[in-house]
Structure 1
């Protein structure tokens, strides 16, 4: 574990719940007592503990009770509906809040993983979130829909961060995927985008919508669900095929 805050370098460190305890209101009373940590190559580790119990001690009290708490409050009024698949509309402000919260949560989930899994995301991306309070221009985000797990054959919470090392364009690249109930959020980190350019948004699909940067309202739930058996293919593409265009 870290000895100083992974975001600002401060101390002392405090414990942070990876998923907020208030999400209990969004979970089925028979919540599955495990989650998956997906690994490179398509395998996974099963973590047998209530998902809301995960804590990490890698952030200082200033970050924990300050801007990180503000990110939590920014999604509190709509995140339960996303997880439960209840109707709502996400405007661009809500999409910005969700993208920032999802990135923060994915970064915290890294510290529940083994060191070799944790090393996927570079320290600079933690620092950038601390400074900006939102994903960078080198990131894309999208929101997907899955049916709520019907039984213990599927995990309620499913996480993966897949690294792609140094790409042909130079620089680091990774994909972080977080599934809670019906909600699937992906943050895709491309190599640093050159000045004057921006990443080309993903195509809108029946089961996936571009979320970062926000483009327009998203009506939830989406019109089609991602089949559970496609989760690995979604979270572990063989390569990153991202393009840029003039900004």
Structure 2
């Protein structure tokens, strides 16, 4: 096993002004209960700290770290660095595949990393999903990635990087989750539908078409950013909060 930087070294070189920026990470477990007015949050943990590029996780093998993950970082740099800066990008089918895979890889490595501390029980991202990523180097069949544009506030204390992991418990032991990250102007969400439901239809009640662009690897080009931004910290909070009935 080898250590993998949560955020790669090329980001440090590309955005030196972010080196000491504050970061925030959140994990939430919720229950889709029968009583819509009943308690939903079963577990919640929040952490804010400085040092954007310091976190590492010994959760990937040397072959992956120096192989397809390294190649992915090289190939995704061009579209991702433009999106972080808020520059318009035409995401070709190939770029959609690269950005999607980067988002999933980054969120899964970060979730398994030690900086998260004690993970919730039950865990949000179960080992089956990272194992699938390792085996196929591709998104699983129940996953979909969307991207949005973040418009920061002008007030001090704005977070450059933030993550959110939210799991929804369904009946019969089924679950779904949404994992989100934002870096600069770039916002991405990984939606994992419960088994038996294939996205994006299973995620339709949650997605906001004027604020997100679905990434479909190999499909027609997608223009980024979407029509409306996710504005400020209040907008980010709303964007990553699951509705009362998630619908998938």
TM-score norm. by structure 2 comes to: 0.81
Shift of 1:19: 0.5
In the alignment, what sits opposite 1:22?
A: 10
Paired positions, count: 227
Shift of 1:150: 4.4
In the alignment, what sits opposite 1:8?
A: none
In the alignment, what sits opposite 1:182?
A: 185
In the alignment, what sits opposite 2:162?
A: 158
Asked if residue 132 in structure 1 is aligned to residue 136 in structure 2, the reply is yes
Equivalent position SS for 2:151: coil
Shift of 1:189: 0.5
Equivalent position SS for 2:73: helix
Deviates more, 1:96-105 or 1:223-232: 223-232
CA distance in structure 2 between the partners assigned to 1:145 and 1:188 by the alignment: 17
In the alignment, what sits opposite 2:25?
A: 37
Asked if residue 123 in structure 1 is aligned to residue 127 in structure 2, the reply is yes
CA distance in structure 2 between the partners assigned to 1:69 and 1:169 by the alignment: 39
CA distance in structure 2 between the partners assigned to 1:233 and 1:215 by the alignment: 29
CA distance in structure 1 between the partners assigned to 2:166 and 2:229 by the alignment: 23
- Check conservation: 1:143, 1:183, Cα contact below 8 A: yes
Asked if residue 113 in structure 1 is aligned to residue 101 in structure 2, the reply is no
Shift of 1:58: 1.6
Asked if residue 210 in structure 1 is aligned to residue 211 in structure 2, the reply is no
TM-score norm. by structure 1 comes to: 0.81
After superposition, the Cα gap between the structure-2 partners of 1:53 and 1:151, relative to the gap in structure 1 and judged at 3 Å, is farther
Name stretches of at least 5 consecutive residues in structure 2 with no aligned partner. Answer: 29-40
- Check conservation: 2:143, 2:190, Cα contact below 8 A: yes
In the alignment, what sits opposite 2:31?
A: none
- Check conservation: 2:93, 2:218, Cα contact below 8 A: yes
- Check conservation: 1:144, 1:226, Cα contact below 8 A: yes
After superposition, the Cα gap between the structure-2 partners of 1:122 and 1:30, relative to the gap in structure 1 and judged at 3 Å, is closer
Asked if residue 225 in structure 1 is aligned to residue 216 in structure 2, the reply is no
CA distance in structure 2 between the partners assigned to 1:170 and 1:96 by the alignment: 31
- Check conservation: 1:144, 1:209, Cα contact below 8 A: yes
Name stretches of at least 5 consecutive residues in structure 1 with no aligned partner. Answer: 1-12
- Check conservation: 1:170, 1:191, Cα contact below 8 A: no
In the alignment, what sits opposite 1:236?
A: 241
CA distance in structure 1 between the partners assigned to 2:128 and 2:167 by the alignment: 15
In the alignment, what sits opposite 1:171?
A: 174
CA distance in structure 2 between the partners assigned to 1:89 and 1:182 by the alignment: 16
